[in-house]
Structure 1
Amino acid sequence: MFSVQLASALAVPMIGDIGAPGTAWLRLTIGALVFVLVQRPPLRALRRVDVPVVIALGIATGVMTVAFMEALDRIPLGMAVAVEFLGPLTVAAARSPHRRALVWPALALVGVVLMTEPWRGNVEVAGLAFAALAGAGWGGYILLTQRIGDRFSGIGSLSMTVPIAALTVAVVGVPQAASHLTPALLAEAAVLALLMPVLPFVLELLALRRMTHTAFGTLMALEPAIGLVWGAVLLDQTPSVGQLVGITVVVFAGAAAQRGGRRAPSETALAEVQPV
């Protein structure tokens, strides 16, 4: 989470230069190259039933990335992360054995309203919509990553899904970024790619192999707060008192969504698939 939100804050100037799709495409493309160089995609180990999951995860990753970049171009970082967090929080609540857990996404929504302060009349609807789309992609990413991560050892799944994500975003990203490519820009994009997606995706894959969806979602409740801090420190996005209350409500709702933890041994057993 620390790495993801640092990368998000540092990406804002690049978004201003080459646009959100161009920034997302560059980061995903460089990340894809890193994953493929570290471990060749285990295509021979793919079963027919795996193919739709791999493709869906790649598309979800691409949509999540470009939608969040579009949100950052319109609304403050902390606000974007708070809205996006509704995705994994809903996953955590929906998969809880207790129906009362569904109250937590509703409470988080109250926190988001406090953060956006619609009564001031300056709500950026497009930015909120992109953040919500990123949240939907994030929720799908969590579910699909756990499923495909259990099938392949190492980072084999990432060496397949991140290139798909890069191709998904290329349709809108290449036209924006192509005319701006310089050695300096590529170097900057490489640093951002290491911060996101390379390091976080590897760590999240390892975490989801050991944790339930709901426990993962609960820990992710810290992410809006981390985004708020990076926005204030690096982007001079100082929150109001009402927004601080809102982010506190979002974090509390995420942490309260459930108290589960470790996945059962039967869930974490990995298929014996060797890296290719």
Structure 2
Amino acid sequence: MTKPPAPALMLGSVLSIQFGQALGKQLAGAVGAPGAVALRLGLAAVLLLLLYRPSLPRSRTDLLLVLGFGTAIAGMNLIYPALLFLPLGLASALQLLGPVTLALLTSRRLRDGGCAALAGCGVWLFHAPGGSGVPLAGVLLALAAGASMAAYLVLSGKAGSRSAGGGPLALAVTWAAVLTVPLGIADRGAELLAPRVLVTGIAVAVLSAVLPYSLELAALRRLPTRTVGVLTSLEPASAGLAGVLVLDEHLNVVQWAALACVGAASAGAVVRREKGDSGPRLLAEAGPSRNGRR
């Protein structure tokens, strides 16, 4: 049987994440952001544990890495309360600024300074005259999710270097669930067990965690890391598309331009010369970079 092209796998991962996140926004509207995060991470943890059957950490270093990894995953889920204030495309673009900033801070090249300026232009366009204003609370939550995403990238790279396969991810998502599920239960209690809510939660967990991880894992075996990073930069645009199709969120021309700026800055931050570039590649080399996030 012919294998699907690796870029198609990555594109499928990007689309799966954002459409899963669109469903997650609907779920947050029904059971609140803490409830949506509890269902997403709790169900994703169960599915990943069944899929990978990881062994427990064997050393204190491995344990601390899993705990840090999982805490970063929990922090990335601040995107869900942000989505209560922001359209999906804008929230995704703001979150992507975290790893873009990480990649730019670890490089001293002039071109990367231009990428930083382009990303800053995108942020400015969110508030530019003629563009619709956005609530500050939503912006801050999305940026906090982006900072957690940057930490996740660093820690996922370290986890990947110490252990092959999805075991560390499954354990990290389980720890993230331990941190977040009690908050959802305290907020909504038995409402989270309603059959319709559980079905939606499973769909969110599969689309935004389990499926994209599997697609990325297959793609990363066959694609250069810089190609993965460039395809990842399509996330703001795919988030805008998911917002239109699933949530009936329509962005104006200025806001689409803002998404384009952030996506272009992300692509520029991860594209490296094939030879002679000694700068780090954190955004692209961190491995499957959205496995437990959002």
Q: When the two structures are superposed, what TM-score results if normalisation uses the length of structure 1?
A: 0.85
Q: 2:206 aligns with which of 189, 194, 212?
A: 194
State whether residues 91 and 214 of structure 1, in contact with CA within 8 Å, keep that contact through their aligned partners in structure 2. Answer: no
Match of 1:274 in 2: none
Match of 1:228 in 2: 240
Cα drift, residue 58 of structure 1? 0.2
203-212 or 149-158: bigger deviation: 203-212
Match of 2:20 in 1: 7
In 2, Cα distance between equivalents of 1:36 and 1:10: 23
State whether residues 18 and 239 of structure 2, in contact with CA within 8 Å, keep that contact through their aligned partners in structure 1. Answer: yes
Match of 2:32 in 1: 19
In 1, Cα distance between equivalents of 2:219 and 2:147: 20
SS in 2 for 1:49: helix
State whether residues 86 and 109 of structure 1, in contact with CA within 8 Å, keep that contact through their aligned partners in structure 2. Answer: no
Match of 1:272 in 2: none
The one-letter code matched in structure 2 to 1:243 is: Q
In 1, Cα distance between equivalents of 2:129 and 2:41: 34
Q: 2:252 aligns with which of 210, 217, 240?
A: 240
Match of 1:53 in 2: 65
Match of 1:110 in 2: 121
Cα drift, residue 219 of structure 1? 3.2
Q: 1:256 aligns with which of 258, 268, 292?
A: 268
1:53-112, Cα deviation, whole Å (9 max, x unpaired): 1111100001101x1001111110010011001011112223336254144233212112
Query: Is 2:93 the counterpart of 1:82?
Result: yes
In 2, Cα distance between equivalents of 1:21 and 1:104: 34
- Aligned-residue sequence identity (percent) comes to 35
Q: 1:133 aligns with which of 144, 148, 151?
A: 144
State whether residues 82 and 91 of structure 2, in contact with CA within 8 Å, keep that contact through their aligned partners in structure 1. Answer: yes
52-61 or 213-222: bigger deviation: 213-222
In 1, Cα distance between equivalents of 2:113 and 2:62: 31
Q: CA 1:187–1:15 in structure 2 vs 1: closer, same or farther (change >3 Å)? A: same
State whether residues 229 and 271 of structure 2, in contact with CA within 8 Å, keep that contact through their aligned partners in structure 1. Answer: no
State whether residues 32 and 166 of structure 1, in contact with CA within 8 Å, keep that contact through their aligned partners in structure 2. Answer: yes
Q: CA 1:103–1:169 in structure 2 vs 1: closer, same or farther (change >3 Å)? A: farther
Aligned-residue CA RMSD (Å): 2.8
The one-letter code matched in structure 1 to 2:267 is: A
Q: 1:164 aligns with which of 168, 175, 181?
A: 175
State whether residues 130 and 254 of structure 2, in contact with CA within 8 Å, keep that contact through their aligned partners in structure 1. Answer: no
SS in 1 for 2:235: helix
Q: CA 1:196–1:164 in structure 2 vs 1: closer, same or farther (change >3 Å)? A: same
In 2, Cα distance between equivalents of 1:93 and 1:253: 10
In 1, Cα distance between equivalents of 2:132 and 2:251: 17
The one-letter code matched in structure 1 to 2:88 is: L
Q: CA 1:172–1:141 in structure 2 vs 1: closer, same or farther (change >3 Å)? A: same
Gaps of 5+ in 1: 269-276
In 1, Cα distance between equivalents of 2:238 and 2:274: 24
State whether residues 63 and 137 of structure 1, in contact with CA within 8 Å, keep that contact through their aligned partners in structure 2. Answer: yes
Cα drift, residue 200 of structure 1? 2.3
Q: When the two structures are superposed, what TM-score results if normalisation uses the length of structure 2?
A: 0.80
Cα drift, residue 248 of structure 1? 1.6
